[in-house]
Amino acid sequence: MPEGHSVHRLARQFADCFVGQALSVSSPQGRFAEGAAALDSAVLEGARAHGKQLFLDFAGDRVLRSHLGLYGAWSFGGTERFRGASSIGAPRRIGEREAGDDGAAPTGPLRPPAPVGAVRVRLVGDEGWADLRGPTLCVLETRAEAEAARARLGPDPLDPGADPAPFVAAVRRSRRPVGALLMDQAVLAGVGNIFRAESLFRRRLDPLLPGRALGEPALQELWAENVALMRTGARLGRIVTTDPADRPGVDETAAWPEHAHYVYQRAGLPCRRCGSPVAAAELAGRGLYWCPACQA
């Protein structure tokens, strides 16, 4: 599942490439036909992310809110003047990198290709298009409805104005494992399985520790860790959580997924810090990875 940093990159791409334009909106698959008809020819006024949800603000009090879930992705294309990643979303691999353009963009007038696969929504602007496939959520709302949905989410570490206090308070009053709480989007928005595993490792916290057992200083540090890791992910377009000292000679801008993480998907392999076998279990339906020695 794409984590919050990818959705913030999506918001940035929509802002750079489509805001201010009257977009042609359609639903080739047909499952969003009514919403597409309501948005067709409307001006995109803004694009923003909160956690794993993308909010596209259109003129006329209309918001297209989407959540990519496990399998969703936005793909992009356009003329030679269109700039940006060609795909952001699933499928993801260890190290997670967004797809770039491998060939030259089409020259001449904009001619979007026929939709391929189950395209839920297609947006077409002056120089490019965007196709949404496989989302968990794709709804048309008023701004008040969209804001109510956003308010139900926890604070977002990638929001410069976010207050970590609600996150700290929610964890401290819960008996649930901190590893489960980090994945609860009502507690903390945007953190997924990789950031969960890696931030807990870096702070040397046992993921099975009840939230109420953690003090405020430890939780403030865990918040700061996720802010730093997610900012790096938003900058690089992939999740790299290891420190430079632990990946000697590796260029962080290159694709080196085998050096990207300390414990995520390394069950049974040596911990990169102490050499102990990395443990794995299932927690709240998702794979959990940790070092029993470093995170005791």
Instruction: Give which of 119, 114, 112 is closest to 28, Cα–Cα.
Output: 119
Amino acid at 65: R
| Euclidean distance between CA atoms 28 and 119, whole angstroms | 6
Residue 286 bears catalytic tag: yes
Q: What is the mean pLDDT of residues 94-118?
A: 69
Whether the pLDDT of residue 278 is over 80: the answer is: yes
Whether the pLDDT of residue 87 is over 90: the answer is: no
Site of tokens 């496939």? 133
Q: What angle separates helix 193-202 from helix 216-236, to the nearest 10 degrees?
A: 130
Q: Where are the alpha helices (DSSP H) in the chain?
A: 4-17, 33-39, 143-151, 165-172, 178-181, 193-202, 216-236
User: Choosing from 3, 96, 98, 225, which is the catalytic residue?
Assistant: 3
Bridge-based pairing state of the strands 119-124 and 128-133: antiparallel
Please indicate whether residue 243 or residue 199 has the higher confidence score (pLDDT).
Answer: 199
Residue 122 bears catalytic tag: no
Q: Give me the pLDDT at residue 104, please.
A: 57
User: Choosing from 9, 52, 65, 196, which is the catalytic residue?
Assistant: 52
Q: What is the chain's mean pLDDT, rounded?
A: 91
User: For the residues of 192-251, what is the DSSP string, one character each?
Assistant: -HHHHHHHHHHTT--TTSBGGGS-HHHHHHHHHHHHHHHHHHHHHSS---S-GGGSTT--
Q: What are the b/e assignments for 170-203, b being 16+ CB within 10 Å?
A: bbbebebbbbbbbbbbebbbbbbbbbbbbbbbbb
Q: What is the mean pLDDT of residues 27-41?
A: 98
Phi and psi at 27, nearest 5°, equal -130, 85
Return the percentage of the chain with pLDDT > 70, whole number.
91
pLDDT category at 236 given cuts 50, 70, 90 is: confident
Least confident of 54-63, 64-73, 155-164, 252-261: 252-261
Q: What are the b/e assignments for 117-134, b being 16+ CB within 10 Å?
A: eebbbbbbbebbbbbbbb
Cβ-based neighbours of 230, under 8 Å, separated by 6 or more: 3, 4, 5, 157, 158, 190, 191, 195
Residue 252 bears catalytic tag: no
Predicted TM-score of the model (pTM): 0.91
Whether the pLDDT of residue 290 is over 70: the answer is: yes
Q: What is the mean pLDDT of residues 46-75?
A: 97
Bridge-based pairing state of the strands 73-78 and 128-133: antiparallel
Q: Give me the pLDDT at residue 259, please.
A: 74
pLDDT category at 284 given cuts 50, 70, 90 is: confident
For 174-231, write each residue's pLDDT tens digit: 999 999 999 999 999 999 999 999 999 999 999 999 999 999 999 999 999 999 999 9
Residue 135 bears catalytic tag: no
pLDDT category at 251 given cuts 50, 70, 90 is: low
Q: Give me the pLDDT at residue 288, please.
A: 97
User: Choosing from 2, 28, 155, 164, which is the catalytic residue?
Assistant: 2
For 3-23, write each residue's pLDDT tens digit: 999 999 999 999 999 999 999
Q: Give me the pLDDT at residue 66, please.
A: 98
Q: Give me the pLDDT at residue 217, please.
A: 98
Site of tokens 């790299």? 240
User: Six-digit token pair at 141?
Assistant: 């709302």
Q: Give me the pLDDT at residue 80, please.
A: 86
Whether the pLDDT of residue 94 is over 50: the answer is: no
Least confident of 92-101, 192-201, 237-246: 92-101
